[in-house]
Amino acid sequence: MKRILWILNLFIICAANSYACTNFLVTKGASAKGATMISYAADSHTLYGELYFWPAAKYAAGKMLKIYEWDTGKYLGEIPQAAETYTVNGNMNEHALAIGETTYGGREELVDSTGIIDYGSLIYITLQRAKNAREAIKIMAELVAQHGYCSSGESFSICDPDEVWILEMIGKGIKADPKTGANLNKGAVWVAVKIPDGYISAHANQARIQNFTWSDGKTSISSKEMNKIFLPEVETVYSHDVAEIARQYGFYSGDNKSFSFSDAYNPVDFSGARACEARVWAFFRSVNNEMSKYEDYAMGRNLKNRMPLYVKPFKQLTLKHTIAMMRDHYEGTPMDMSKDIGAGPYRLPYRWRPMSWEVDGKKYVHERAIATQQTGFWFVAECRSHLPRPLAGILWFGVDDAATSCLTPIYSCSHHVPCEFAAGNGSMLNYSDESAFWIFNRVANFAYLRYDAISADIQKVQQEIENHHEQEVKAADEYALWLYEQDPAKARDFLTELTVHTASTMFKRWKELDHYLLVKYIDGNIKKEKDTESGKIFERNPYGISKSPNQPHLPEFWRRIIVNDAGETLKAN
């Protein structure tokens, strides 16, 4: 997520890491449960993590919808409201349609300040109006064509229980009509590609669609043939002027068949590879043995060695694997953030901003991993085709840093959201003791002080909760299906209650964890514990007070660093 495009162009390393998101895309055939999945980390230093909600509604003709820019809250204008809208919980609607995004920025001159649809509004308006991925693509294309697109370049993940698509979009800039002043370039250029079943894809702030199949009347269509988008054989859709606009601006001069969307509108550079594509590479390499040949590209050293848009995994991905990869810090790679000296003595896999810096005139960067401290909210959307659509969607939802937070199941048919995640419960500038965002931040920021030890305790509770949630969901699906066959409304009520209950239980457990960690690790000590039948308890001396805590030495490698730096001053006589 990047709010000011020219900052991206001037300070591309810093901005790519300050406002950045990560999406994974998993098709039915690549999923262990036969469910499509997309993941999304909404990363921004100013985004407050909460679960958005819109109830289904019907509107009279002539009703208008006011549009406010998602990033800034700025009023952009208004558009006609749809006659009917659907229930939306976060980034998934009641029909198990889910949409995520990452911002790549791209060409500065293509931003259209006259447009009134920003990328965030585009997502949430579409979720209120579309029932499946193909309908979502059609609506998104129509919205920007009719009302103008005012954001910079964007990649969207779109999935329903049957299909997964990636759509990449950028504006067309401003070309004023000499008579009316209206923008003759209103709208956007874009390409949407269906990920083949059995494959996975990903995007992380770098445009990834390169060459694609041009209209053949069968598998590929242009926006002029949008009436064909619902034909199952169609796998590529694009705006009819996607190459022509690039030619007009001088971004491209070849024929259509050689046209690459990414090369024209977001040419990859060192930052695009190292700070963005490297996250895609990390995900791909976890389930594909061919990715070592792209390591140099991920590190920004061979930009011509582009990765494919999608790869076939050597095993089907579980929900747990997808969640685990959202918590990745490049472990096991040359970019492992816990290994270099910047990790400190306690192996902290985070670096505070800015991410680019200089020493003696030479430029350096810190890594931008998938898991990052500035996440507002994150999710893994799971869409199950074996269930009726109102029961098919689960948004596994969490707030703050994925590595130190926990996911709870939000059924997409729920008619209200848990109060701990509700919009208005606290803000980035106002602390709320009943807000999930703030309790997860408390735990995460404490963990950053002694990461190796504290994160291990956090991971135990993560697994405890998420394993329990998976079992709850399995049982709930069976009961909800039985209820649905009797009365769909009762099934929806039941799943809403379950959604609220699981979130509230997780919130309370995380508060307990917050208290436990403070007691255990206060002042750099580590209190002794012992196992009992009811779990671990802190050890006491024979008189009932705390035993002397453990005070582990700094790791030897860190002690040597101290000696090398200040050994003569610190040497004991």
Write down the pLDDT at residue 181. 86
DSSP E strands, 81-198: 84-85, 88-89, 92-93, 98-105, 153-159, 164-171, 188-194
Token pair recorded at residue 301: 């050293």
Q: What is the mean predicted confidence (pLDDT) over 394-398?
A: 98
DSSP 274: I
- Are the beta carbons of 15 and 276 closer than 8 angstroms? no
For the segment 403-412, what is each residue's pLDDT rounded down to a tens digit? 999 999 999 9
The H-or-E segment that residue 506 falls in is helix 488-521
361: pLDDT strictly greater than 70: yes
- Nearest-5° angle of CA 304, CA 309, CA 314? 110
Position 16 scores a pLDDT of 37
For residue 18, pLDDT over 70 is answered with no
What pLDDT is stored for residue 216 in this prediction? Answer: 81
Given a cut of 50, whether residue 512 has pLDDT beyond it is: yes
Question: Does 9 score more than 90 pLDDT?
Answer: no
Output the pTM of the full model: 0.94
Outline where DSSP puts E strands in 464-539. Answer: 529-532, 535-538
Cβ-count burial of 40 within 10 angstroms (0-12 exposed, 13-18 middle, 19+ buried)?
Answer: buried
Over residues 167-194, the mean pLDDT reads 94
The predicted structure's pLDDT at residue 13 = 34
pLDDT at 6 over 50: no
Specify the higher pLDDT residue, 1 or 500. Answer: 500
If pLDDT is split at 50, 70 and 90, which confidence band does 5 have? Answer: very low
**pLDDT on residue 239:** 98
Read off the pLDDT of each residue in 285-307 and give the average, rounded to a whole number. 97
Residue 535 has pLDDT above 90, yes or no: no
Is the Cβ–Cβ distance between 439 and 514 less than 8 Å?
yes
Residue 14 has pLDDT above 80, yes or no: no
CA-based diameter of the chain, in Å?
A: 91
Residue that is written with structure tokens 């898991």 in the block: 371
Band (pLDDT 50/70/90 cuts) for residue 520 is very high
The answer on pLDDT for 108 being more than 60 is yes
- Please list, residue by residue across 353-375, b when 16 or more beta carbons sit within 10 angstroms of its beta carbon and e when fewer do: eebbeeeeeeeebbbbbbbbbbb
Q: What is the pLDDT of residues 50-90, one digit of tens each?
A: 999 999 999 999 999 999 999 999 999 999 999 999 999 99
Please determine, for residue 177, whether its predicted confidence score (pLDDT) is greater than 90: no
User: How many Å apart are CA 470 and CA 323, to the nearest integer?
Assistant: 13
**79 Cα distance to chain centroid:** 28
Phi first, then psi: give them for residue 502, nearest 5 degrees: -65, -40
Q: What percent of the chain has pLDDT over 70?
A: 97
Helix/strand number for the chain, H first, E second = 15, 24
- Residue 400 pLDDT grade (very low, low, confident, very high; cuts 50, 70, 90): very high
According to the model, what pLDDT value does residue 2 have?
38
Q: Is the pLDDT of residue 7 over 60?
A: no
Pull the structure tokens for residue 10: 């001037």
CA nearest to 30, candidates 293, 284, 392, 276: 284
**pLDDT-derived band at 534, boundaries 50, 70, 90:** confident
Give yes or no for a contact between 205 and 167, defined as CB atoms under 8 angstroms apart.
Answer: no
Mean pLDDT of the chain: 94
Neighbours of 514 (CB within 10 A): 15
Nearest to 274 by CA among 16, 1, 23: 16
Q: Three-state SS for 176?
A: strand
